[in-house]
Structure 1
Amino acid sequence: AESDRDLQKALPALKAAEEALNTLNRNNLTELKSFATPPAAILKVTASIQILMAQQGRVPRDRTWNAAKKTMGDVGQFLNSLLTYDKNHIPESSLKAVDEYLRDPDFNPDAIRRVSMAASGLCAWAINIVQYYRVYCEVEPKRLAAEQATEELRQTEEQFNATQAKLARLQAALQALKDQYEAAQNEKDECQRAADQTTYTINLANRLVGGLASEKERWTNTIQQFQILGKFLPGNVLITTAYLSYVGYFTKYYREELLYRRWMP
């Protein structure tokens, strides 16, 4: 990312500041404190350290040698405070106050090294820690923006994944409904076919019943005729037997005479 590339530019200054601290130890710091009247270049270095080490950016007005020795106080504790210095949060007031020393041509670690190794290390540390912070201030907004963008992307991806999962569930539910609809449609079609077959059978039955209804009248008339004929059956049988028994010997004329004029009323 761009912020990471920009931050890499600040790393050399941070490394130089750390290397400057590596040149400090109890002995050379104690030696530095032993100066009765240090050169002006050393006073500028200790003044810059007082400014950078000031709590909450309260720039000290007293930057004399005596005040500087109080700042260095316990050498071990002072060295530890440099090692744990909050390099990512230097107050603006401290930056403005220390800038006049950093722009001074005499504020040069190589030149000061000839006088004091400890002062040279402190000088290099002050220069590089401020340089690092200024680059950091340029990069930090980009880094925060990148982190925010990354977080927003993560949230967006989570929302997208959640939406995808919800969509998958809805699609599964939709498919289940489609399957149910298809099954219901098949059942409906089967019922419709059964209904059509039943209707066809009913129509055939109605036609049969209708046909039988038309025959009923004929059958009724036939029964009535048979009932009427049944009343005359004994007489008809008697006439038939008499005809067969007695009339066969006569001519047609006498047979008709007997049958239609004598026997049948």
Structure 2
Amino acid sequence: IQKRETDEQQKTVAANTILIKEEEAEGLKIKDSAEADLQEAMPALEEAMQALDALNKKDITEVRSYGRPPGKVELVMEAVMILKQVEPTWAEAKRQLGDVNFLNQLRDFDKDHISEKTLKKIAAYTSHEDFKPDIVGTVSNAAKSLCQWVLAIEKYAKIYKIVAPKKARLDEAMASLKAKQDSLAAAQAKVAELQAILDKLKADF
């Protein structure tokens, strides 16, 4: 009886080990796919961050000093305001530019949780023929960097919308895998315990 129980436990452990290995491979596939998608957005994002890092107080003051900004500068600043969830007006843009933490807020911007509504609003700006860093750069270097930032954030957010469900599936798969691994470890311990009893019985006879 003891041997039969041990054999059955060993069969169960062997079958579960195969299933777990399959789940691990599936989880890895989802992870690789999500990372590959995000990787697509990273170069533009890194370039935009470098552009922000290149800006200094003087550049920001230059944009803020406009009484009535050039159309291209206003276009960019309105897009920045929309991403920051504030009124897309020049008055609000000037107020934001006056904040000493303005650039840090852009660097630390929560790019993983941009709503569909905000992305639609932004698309109306980014699809404008003048909303290109090189074109904006003809009137303002600071606005050029901010234009780059908006475009990079938009690209990242669009890709993240595809990645988010994959990440959710991955989290779910990993939680399920962890539960099965724990269960397998308990079963392996049980097999070892039964085997020890069996070995002792054999030794006693």
Task: Please give the TM-score of this superposition, normalised by the length of structure 1.
Answer: 0.61
Aligned to 1:128: 152
Aligned to 1:49: 80
The one-letter code matched in structure 1 to 2:157 is Y
Q: Matched residues in 2 for 1:25 and 1:127: separation?
A: 20
Figure out how many residues of one structure are paired with residues of the other and give that number.
174
Bigger relative contact order (CA 8 A; separation at least 6): 2
Q: Matched residues in 2 for 1:19 and 1:103: separation?
A: 23
Q: Matched residues in 1 for 2:75 and 2:96: separation?
A: 14
Aligned to 1:67: 92
Q: Secondary structure at the match of 1:165?
A: helix
- What's the CA shift for 1:179? 4.7
Aligned to 2:187: 163
Aligned to 2:133: 109
- What's the CA shift for 1:98? 1.4
2:48 aligned with 1:17 = yes
Aligned to 2:119: 95
CA RMSD in angstroms comes to 1.8
Gaps of 5+ in 2: 1-31
Deviates more, 1:94-103 or 1:144-153: 144-153
Q: Secondary structure at the match of 1:129?
A: helix
Q: Matched residues in 1 for 2:41 and 2:114: separation?
A: 15
- What's the CA shift for 1:174? 3.2
Q: Matched residues in 2 for 1:127 and 1:42: separation?
A: 15
Q: Secondary structure at the match of 2:113?
A: coil
Gaps of 5+ in 1: 183-265
- What's the CA shift for 1:163? 0.4
Q: Matched residues in 2 for 1:147 and 1:158: separation?
A: 17
8 Å contact kept, 1:88–1:136: yes
Alignment map for 1:16-35 (pairs within 5 Å): 16-35=47-66
Q: Matched residues in 2 for 1:66 and 1:144: separation?
A: 40
Of 86, 92, 102, the match for 2:110: 86
8 Å contact kept, 2:72–2:139: no
Aligned to 2:24: none
Aligned to 1:242: none
Q: Matched residues in 2 for 1:43 and 1:64: separation?
A: 8
The one-letter code matched in structure 2 to 1:118 is A
Q: Secondary structure at the match of 1:158?
A: helix
Aligned to 1:176: 200
**Runs of 4+ more than 6 Å apart:** none
Task: Please give the TM-score of this superposition, normalised by the length of structure 2.
Answer: 0.77
Report which of the two structures shows the higher radius of gyration computed on alpha carbons: 1
- What's the CA shift for 1:176? 3.0
The one-letter code matched in structure 2 to 1:164 is Q
Q: Matched residues in 2 for 1:9 and 1:156: separation?
A: 33
User: What whole-Å deviation, never above 9, does each CA across 1:223-258 have from its counterpart, x for those lacking one?
Assistant: xxxxxxxxxxxxxxxxxxxxxxxxxxxxxxxxxxxx
